[in-house]
Homo-oligomer: A and B are copies of this chain.
Amino acid sequence: MSPYDPSTFPAFAVTVDLVVLTVRRHALCALVVRRGEPPFQGRWALPGGFVRADEDLADAAARELSEETGLCADDPKAPAPGNGAHLEQLATYGAPGRDPRMRVVSVAHLALSPDLPAPRAGGDANSARWAPVEALLNQDGGFVREDEQPAQLAFDHGQILADGVERARSKIEYSSLATAFCPSEFTVGELRRVYEAVWGVALDPRNFHRKVTGTPGFLVPSGGTTTRQGGRPAQLFRAGGATVLNPPMLRPEI
């Protein structure tokens, strides 16, 4: 390494960008904010911001998440998910031209949250909304049948979103992370609809029920209370202490 002299290394701006995912109305949705300034003014982008001078990367991501959504990030070291959203580092993007203004390295983070929070614009964003990831990712020539098509995301945020979605899709296979999309108490059917929305497939309710209730530590009955979402009342569960699923939940082919 070179001797210490600030003029011997190039200066970078470091930001955190957030892929905040939730499941609403049977669809996997991402939080996007409208840019109020150039470049990409008026375009949708992932929420994010600069890392402060004496701030850790995870702290910056948790702060941005709180500013944009009001969500409180879980302690990453906690074994079981608490009341806050799951937050983990995703990947880092630093191509020289990714921000036309200057050299910016962005440490992207992935956040998973239950549906509850209404998107509220905070701090440095004009407006915020949940958009189905399918509409956000199918921007390469495909048509969009939403009333308001979200257009292509600013910067390289389309790639970052794609990587975050793929991370979520693969991680719910072998971890109990899908419970991060559910409220603190939920039914097996609600958990199944999370898997179906994230993977975009239909799962057999009977086999799914056998799998999740048979995996030790995945679900614990919450008092045995019931609720309704349509038919027969269902048992309520909380997320158990297990974090890894072994054997994993198998994603159907194709």
Count of chain copies: 2
In the assembled complex, how far is the CB of residue A112 from the closest CB belonging to chain B, in whole angstroms? 18
Q: Which residue of B lies closest to A52 (CB)?
A: B10
Beta-carbon contact of B37 and A3 below 8 Å = yes
Known: A37-B3, A50-B2, A101-B4. A56 touches B94 (CB 8 A): yes
- In the bound complex, CA of A112 to CA of B129 (Å): 42
Interface residues on A, range: 35 or more
Tell me which residues across on chain B come within 8 A of A13, comparing CB atoms: 9, 11-12
Tell me which residues across on chain B come within 8 A of A192, comparing CB atoms: none
Judge if A142 is at the interface, Cβ distance under 8 Å: no
Judge if A124 is at the interface, Cβ distance under 8 Å: yes
Tell me which residues across on chain B come within 8 A of A6, comparing CB atoms: 11, 102
- In the bound complex, CA of A2 to CA of B13 (Å): 12
Judge if A43 is at the interface, Cβ distance under 8 Å: no
Beta-carbon contact of B124 and A2 below 8 Å = yes
Tell me which residues across on chain B come within 8 A of A48, comparing CB atoms: 1
Q: List 13 A-B contacts (CB under 8 A).
A: A1-B35, A1-B49, A4-B102, A6-B11, A10-B52, A11-B11, A11-B12, A12-B105, A14-B14, A14-B94, A14-B105, A53-B96, A92-B92
Task: Given contact pairs A1-B35, A51-B94, A94-B107, enumerate 19 new A-B contacts (beta carbons under 8 Å).
Answer: A1-B37, A1-B48, A1-B50, A1-B124, A2-B124, A3-B37, A8-B50, A10-B14, A10-B52, A10-B53, A11-B11, A12-B14, A12-B51, A53-B103, A54-B96, A56-B94, A57-B93, A57-B95, A57-B105
